[in-house]
Structure 1
Amino acid sequence: MGGGLSIHCVDVAAGRVAAGLRVAVWRLGTDGEPAGAPLAEGTIGGNGLLQHPALMSEAITAGGYEVRFFVGDFYRAQGSATGTPGFLEVVPYRFHIADVAQHYHLPFKFTAWGFSLFRGGA
């Protein structure tokens, strides 16, 4: 697969994909902060992926991005007693794309208390 961005989310505490987790992707402005409306936003599907047409399109250009994972809302929607606010509410992840010909895969593995996020080998 060439180019684009994929986001895969797994609730490792439950041992399953995080269907229903809300995720939003912003492009970073020249000041290094998220600029304007999200480039892509939605919920993780039954396959564990954020399906949004912008992520595999020419909208993904060189530059900085921020992805936000709404973990607190995810656990509250499932009736988990993680507290309000939860230990993790929103997990932001900033990264840069240098080579638009490469595919950037972001596996997000989490519980209500911690997470792992990295560039995977998709």
Structure 2
Amino acid sequence: MNAHSGLTTHVLDTARGRPARGIRVELFQIEGAGRRKMTEAVTNTDGRTDAPLIERGSLQPATYELTFHVAPYFEGFGAASQPPFLDLVTLRFTVGDTADHYHVPLIMTPWSYSTYRGS
């Protein structure tokens, strides 16, 4: 079995106390001053992508970016009368030890967000 693991994410809307459904998520690998798009997905009713962003066995040591398109989600809750405060949320992180699984969630409200490295 390959020692490399995968990458997953999910989005939680803590202002509403539920998973955030319908968020478009893009994954990029940083290469020098540029970046290469690896995949994109949309969160399901559980706030997760239906499949890992990087399958088990394919995660490589590198710097990555997850970009979450959150403005359309917030606009769906009546924020159309004013522009949402958050539009794109980009998380840049580095994977060093690929023996472990990386789970990088987005915890958000209409005005703030946070993340952590989960397992």
**TM-score range normalised by the length of the shorter chain:** 0.7 to 0.9
- Secondary structure at the aligned position of 1:67 is classed as strand
Q: Give structure 2 stretches of 5+ with no counterpart.
A: none
Identity of aligned residues (%): 30
Provide Cα deviations, 1:22-43, integer angstroms capped at 9, x if missing partner.
Answer: 1111011122x322xx212111
Q: 1:34 corresponds to which letter in structure 2?
A: R
Return the alpha-carbon distance in structure 1 between the equivalents of residues 53 and 115 of structure 2.
Answer: 21
- Secondary structure at the aligned position of 2:93 is classed as strand
Return the alpha-carbon distance in structure 1 between the equivalents of residues 17 and 49 of structure 2.
Answer: 18
**Map of 1:104 onto structure 2:** 102
Return the alpha-carbon distance in structure 2 between the equivalents of residues 50 and 28 of structure 1.
Answer: 21
**Map of 1:22 onto structure 2:** 24
**Map of 1:87 onto structure 2:** 85
Q: Kindly state the Cα deviation for residue 51 of structure 1 after the two structures are TM-superposed.
A: 2.5
- Secondary structure at the aligned position of 1:50 is classed as coil
* Runs ≥4 residues deviating over 4 A: none
Compared CA separation, residues 54 and 18, structure 1 to 2 (3 A): closer
Trace 1:1-122 onto structure 2 (pairs within 5 A): 3-31=5-33, 33-35=34-36, 38-52=37-51, 54-76=53-75, 78-81=76-79, 83-84=82-83, 86-120=84-118, 122=119
TM-score (norm: length of structure 1): 0.84
Contact 1:63 1:96 (C-alpha < 8 Å) held by counterparts = yes
Q: Give structure 1 stretches of 5+ with no counterpart.
A: none
TM-score (norm: length of structure 2): 0.86
Return the alpha-carbon distance in structure 2 between the equivalents of residues 109 and 80 of structure 1.
Answer: 20
Q: 2:97 corresponds to which letter in structure 1?
A: D
- Secondary structure at the aligned position of 2:64 is classed as strand
Provide Cα deviations, 1:3-40, integer angstroms capped at 9, x if missing partner.
Answer: 11110111111111011111111011122x322xx212
